[in-house]
Amino acid sequence: MSSEMMTSSEYIKHHLQNLTFGKLPAGYERVDHEGHTEVLTQDTWTLAHTAAEAKDMGFMAVNVDSMGWSLFLALFLFFFFRKAAKAATTGVPSGLLNFVEWVIEFIDSSVRGSFTGKNDMVAPMALTIFGWIFLMNFMDLIPIDYLPFIAHNAGLPFFKVVPSTDPNVTFGMSIAVFLLILYYSTKVKGPGGFFAELAFHPFPKWMFPVNLALEGVGLLAKPVSLALRLFGNMYAGEVIFILIALMPFWIQWVLSLPWAIFHILIITLQAFIFMTLTVVYMDMAHQESH
């Protein structure tokens, strides 16, 4: 699955395609890699062999690679902090404990600076969001062909290893944050107070249809901006790595290292921005007079 085995266009499309599992209907015509046509005699749950098949699987299809890596990295984050917590002692902390304490203090100071309400869930949520997104973004620093090559030899048609370049993942996280915003806005302000915030600001009360339209758009824009910002930046970084991989070998070495070093800043910054905006939105949901 090297770039030398396919055209540049095929190589780019291949690396940007997710491994998708879904249902193809009876009567669907499939074409295998050798050009043979197969007509399905019944509804079949299977892996998509082409981008067209993935599209035809519809809404209920699952991007197996994104889902798998997301869950794996979430478990890794959990066990990493669990190991650090179990290793905590009253003596001189180890390097692992020093690192974990530094991360926790960094997140705690960020939350204290952005969240003025009282909710013991916000700081752990911020830590989880930052750590999880950072790990998903960090997968972008693995050589572009390494894991897809292993997957190809295992018989998988596609294998995308950066979950945050999948809009399904970024929208899934942003929608979860949006539901929390709605929940705490209703809980803290009451249904009437939350509606009044949307309908009677910023213009006079008699202009409530305009206010409701403006505030409604602003409210819905929060999860959309969260998801698209993370997806767009990580997707662009992935595309640049793919384009570098298409260049001659000596140019790859010249360009890939500086871009990878710069990308370390990007993956950290995107995780921090998502976390910070989440905390700010939660703070706005907890402000009764907002």
Catalytic machinery residues: 225, 229, 233
The Cα–Cα gap between 268 and 264 comes to 6
Helix (H, G, I), strand (E, B) or coil at 1: coil
Q: Give the up-direction half-sphere exposure of residue 75: CA atoms within 13 A in the CB hemisphere.
A: 6
Contact (CB, 8 A) for 33 and 50:
no
- Chain-centroid distance of CA 121 in Å reads 21
Helix (H, G, I), strand (E, B) or coil at 160: coil
Which tokens is 93 given?
């902390």
Contact (CB, 8 A) for 80 and 99:
no
The Cα–Cα gap between 193 and 93 comes to 48
CB atoms inside a 10 Å sphere around CB 54: 21
Backbone torsions φ then ψ of 280, nearest 5 degrees: -65, -45
Backbone torsions φ then ψ of 21, nearest 5 degrees: -115, 130
